[in-house]
Amino acid sequence: MKKAYNFAAGPCVLPQPAIDAAIEALKDFEGTGIPVVSISHRSKEWTAVMDEARNLWKEILNIPDNYEVLFLGGGASLQFLCVAMNFLEKKAAYLETGVWAKKAIKEAKGLGEAYALASSADKTFCYIPKNYVIPTDIDYFHITTNNTIYGTEIREDIDSPVPLIADMSSDILSRPVDVSKYALIYGGVQKNVGPAGLAFAIVNKDALGKVSRYIPTILDYKTHIDGESMFNTPPVFSIYVMKETLKWLKNMGGLEAIHKLNVAKAEKLYAEIDRNTLFRGTAAKEDRSIMNVCFVMAEGKESLQDEFMKLATERGMVGIKGHRSVGGFRASIYNACPIEAIDALISCMQEFESLNK
């Protein structure tokens, strides 16, 4: 089999133990003689998977008792609307740090006053806005903690005088998080936690029920809390693989251990980008993401971009082309991306430098 190093931004790199377990479950789920994709979501075998997955989330993130973990369809994009439906009564503020934050604002504007409190659009979202003051007359403040397209990240839990809501699609479970600081944390799982087709929501139950509008049944978080994430048929395969990924993360030592590894991987790759005469990073150094490392050819070396992409492809690098809106390169180095992949990419960059002295 050809050796490939997967740096794609999503769907994510999955740990091999989760893949192996999924393969076996596709053959025979829990000794039922039925593949997991065909199992009844009301069976006791499946209910046990849901319970285990939920409990793993709570254990790994140390989620307080007044929060519920939901597994939902529709991806984070549907959650943009669900957030406003469940929390926006009159006015909400957003930190505009990229395309996904802009999309979230757009959905909220359809239900009330929603605006960007601060934005980094002036420099193509290459930094995280600073020195803004969160007003106290808003229903909530929304942040996107990691910006996959631009390679920026909010790596600390901010203090907010109003309910804080975070889209953590691409950095959830990559570092310890103080869940108690948030009214809601949500995201798609396909970056760090499992395959596409599933979203998660970690919601403070005490923060619900504050809006006066009618909330469509399937968009109401209370519906899914009451139904234990099975109001409608859940995406069983995605949930199963997520559960196995969570088991792997726990066995790795949890968030403290994976965060240490993620920082080491990112620092190693950024060090090469800063050293190599042919490349330069695009994100402000103080805001660099440890999940998505974005870089371009150095000034005056732009003509070499296609040549480097060709060499990288030949050396087994997959998915390092930058997002179509910004170009360049992007190495997504999520939890399950091994240090060997970082070493292989660095070796490729050094080889290219030696070929173009």
Considering 46, 57, 171, 191, which one is annotated as catalytic?
191
Q: Identify the pLDDT of residue 99.
A: 96
Residue type, 212: S
Residue type, 190: Q
- 167 tagged catalytic: yes
Beta-carbon contacts of residue 53 (< 8 Å; ≥ 6 apart): 71, 239, 242, 243, 246
CA 71 – CA 230 distance, rounded (Å): 8
Q: Mind giving me the DSSP string for 304-343? A: GHHHHHHHHHHTTEES-BPPTTT-SEEEE--TT--HHHHH
CA 164 – CA 61 distance, rounded (Å): 17
- 27 tagged catalytic: no
The tokens for 212 are 């006066």
pLDDT class of 190 with cuts at 50, 70, 90 = very high
How confident is the model over 203-213, as a mean pLDDT? 97
Q: Identify the pLDDT of residue 357.
A: 84
How confident is the model over 239-255, as a mean pLDDT? 98
Residue 147, Cβ neighbours under 10 Å: how many? 28
Pair type for strands 199-204 and 279-281: unpaired
Q: How big is the chain, counted in residues?
A: 357
Q: Identify the pLDDT of residue 3.
A: 85
How confident is the model over 28-53, as a mean pLDDT? 96
Mean pLDDT of the chain: 97
Q: Identify the pLDDT of residue 189.
A: 97
CA 287 – CA 97 distance, rounded (Å): 11
pLDDT class of 1 with cuts at 50, 70, 90 = low
- Domains, in order of start, for the chain: 16-251 (3.40.640.10), 254-355 (3.90.1150.10)
- 51 tagged catalytic: no
Q: What is the pLDDT of residues 138-174, one digit of tens each?
A: 999 999 999 999 999 999 999 999 999 999 999 999 9
* H or E element that contains 67: strand 67-72
How confident is the model over 322-341, as a mean pLDDT? 95
CA 241 – CA 228 distance, rounded (Å): 18
Q: Is the pTM of this model over 0.95?
A: yes
Considering 46, 57, 167, 243, which one is annotated as catalytic?
167
Q: Identify the pLDDT of residue 315.
A: 96
CA–CA distance from 70 to each of 136, 184, 304 (Å)?
28, 11, 46
- The helix/strand/coil state of 296 is strand
CA 98 – CA 66 distance, rounded (Å): 31
Q: What is the pLDDT of residues 254-309, one digit of tens each?
A: 999 999 999 999 999 999 999 999 999 999 999 999 999 999 999 999 999 999 99
Contact (CB, 8 A) for 6 and 184? no
Considering 46, 57, 100, 248, which one is annotated as catalytic?
100
Return the residue matching tokens 């968009």: 219
